Chain A
Amino acid sequence: MGVAFQIRNLNVYYGQHQVLYDVNMDIRERAVTAIIGPSGCGKSTLLRCLNRMHDLQPGVRITGEVRFKGKNIYDDDVDPMEIRYRIGMVFQKPNPFPKSIFENVAFGPRINGYRGNLNELVERCLRQAALWDEVKDRLHKSALSLSGGQQQRLCLARALAVEPEVILMDEPASALDPISTAKLEDLILELKSRYTIVLVTHNMQQAGRVADETAFFLNGRLIEMGPTRQMFANPREKKTEEYLTGRFG
């Protein structure tokens, strides 16, 4: 299988404060990669490096390379809009637009000049996100009338609608109940045949259930990365073992 991202010597600073140190890792295409680690270790920061979300925030400095399909996305001739269009993102907190359910999903296609049948596209994406049956009778009602779990799936449908190559998810299940979480995990497993998925999670079981590969971060450094099963069964690093077994200082 191919490689989607090659991250090379990546350092990230918020002002003077360095939060990622010399990260080197490869992220496989059409697979689920989980990023785990204690709070504040830089997981979200890493994720935002992958679709240039840091551009939107003044005071963030990035050195090193993030190669996507061989091309460094921080090169001068790369258009960040196109990167974000090809690399979708689902945020930790559901953030549907204060528009109708339909308009939320149609948003991406519209701004990117989609010419096809919007109704079909919206239905397809809502089905993919396992939300269609719950909302098909109220597509033109406000997205804010949905429950948190439904909103999160709507945000996933919205991300799918621009047909990205990668979906970045930052703790997408952190606000969800066990049933919605299970639905979301099924969804991730289903989507990975067509998408590269990078998933930040605090939930070890979740990483164990859905991730092909797992990367463990500690204090801004990549400690260990490998196939999930292998890493969970016998981690190479002592710190990984301590974290996985919950014996963490």
Chain B
Amino acid sequence: MTGEWQRRRRARQRLDRIFAAVFLLAIALSLLTLAVLFWDVVRDGARWLRWEFLTGYPSRIPERAGILVPLVGSLWVIGLTALLALPLGVAAAIYLEFYAGDSWLSRLIEANIANLAGVPSIVYGLLGLAVFVRGLHLGRSVLAAALTMTLLVLPVIIVATREALRAVPLSLIHGAYALGATRWQVIRTVVLPTAAGSIMTGVILAISRALGETAPLITVGAWAFITYLPRHPLDGFSVLPIQIFNWAARPKPAFQQLAAAGIIVLLAVLLSLNAVAIWLRNKYQKKAEW
């Protein structure tokens, strides 16, 4: 009896080790690929990463070309997108979680939001072109792009926020109700503070996805050759991924290297956004436990 049992245990332990090795291999492979790609980009682009590159305007001469216009354009678009999508997405999630109840309509809406998160981004681009650029006459502007991006990230934000809201312990919610709190008071004083960290993380991750989007912005007009900085939401603009693509598509090797330098800038912005997300999460977690 004991022998049989022991043997089985050894078999299970061996299986355990095999799985550990498989998982380690999987993560090592993905990290390695990433490292190689990154190394390749840095080797090509590092030389061009000078102050003049960061503050320079577009030019047909590689030595004079800079990335300022698309960099500022990207920041404008994601900034405005965040401003629009955060309150809208969080409000929608709160509505669905706490007010909508369990009617067939709310179930229909729920199913559709999950589906919307999977719609290809180019479709949002076409929608943005039809509705915002042409329909509302916003033209090929930062605002039209931000509205399009808002549509794109909204489902993701709503889904992430609902997850965060659901993670708030029911015992806390009931504790607040038991003191005579109204639904909105419970949401404001208990639910949102407890969920804030995860909500912010979800929102920033969604927004950083928007930062890398290219297709929908091409359709709403970020392709144009722009030589000035956007000053208000109705100005024209360009964004980082499109500029990078633009450079990469030219035959001259110097432009290829400029594209690599542009990728480094894009990655730097992305990583800073993620760092902010992590910092926010830690900050709120500490505050929540404090």
Pick the contact of B179 from A84, A98, A141 — CB < 8 Å? A84
Q: Cα distance A112–B182 when bound, in Å?
A: 10
Let me know if B172 and A81 touch, CB within 8 A. no
Residue among A91, A96, A111, A158 with the most chain B CB within 10 A? Answer: A111
| CB neighbours of A141 from chain B (8 A) | 290
- Write the nearest CB–CB distance from A119 to chain B, whole angstroms: 19
In the complex with contacts A93-B171, A98-B289, A56-B190 CB distance below 8 A: no
| CB neighbours of A95 from chain B (8 A) | 169, 171-172, 174-175
Let me know if A108 and B171 touch, CB within 8 A. no
Let me know if B179 and A162 touch, CB within 8 A. yes
Q: Cα distance A89–B190 when bound, in Å?
A: 17
- In the assembled complex, A120 has its CB within 8 A of some CB on chain B: no
Let me know if A158 and B179 touch, CB within 8 A. yes
In the complex with contacts A98-B289, A108-B179, A91-B171 CB distance below 8 A: yes
- In the assembled complex, A53 has its CB within 8 A of some CB on chain B: yes
- In the assembled complex, B121 has its CB within 8 A of some CB on chain A: no
Let me know if A144 and B289 touch, CB within 8 A. yes
Q: Cα distance A162–B185 when bound, in Å?
A: 15
29 residue pairs bridging A and B, Cβ less than 8 Å apart: A51-B178, A56-B173, A58-B102, A81-B181, A84-B179, A88-B179, A91-B171, A93-B171, A95-B169, A95-B175, A97-B172, A97-B175, A97-B176, A97-B190, A98-B172, A98-B193, A108-B180, A111-B176, A111-B179, A111-B181, A111-B182, A112-B179, A141-B290, A142-B289, A142-B290, A144-B289, A155-B175, A158-B179, A159-B178
- In the assembled complex, B194 has its CB within 8 A of some CB on chain A: yes
Let me know if A91 and B174 touch, CB within 8 A. yes
- In the assembled complex, A82 has its CB within 8 A of some CB on chain B: yes
Q: Cα distance A95–B179 when bound, in Å?
A: 12
A-side interface residues, number (CB < 8 Å) = 31
| CB neighbours of A96 from chain B (8 A) | 175
Pick the contact of B180 from A91, A100, A162 — CB < 8 Å? A162
- Write the nearest CB–CB distance from B285 to chain A, whole angstroms: 10
In the complex with contacts A53-B174, A91-B171, A98-B102 CB distance below 8 A: no
| CB neighbours of B290 from chain A (8 A) | 98-100, 141-142
In the complex with contacts A97-B172, A111-B185, A85-B179 CB distance below 8 A: yes
- Write the nearest CB–CB distance from B136 to chain A, whole angstroms: 41
Within A152-189, the residues touching B (CB, 8 Å) are 155, 158-159, 162
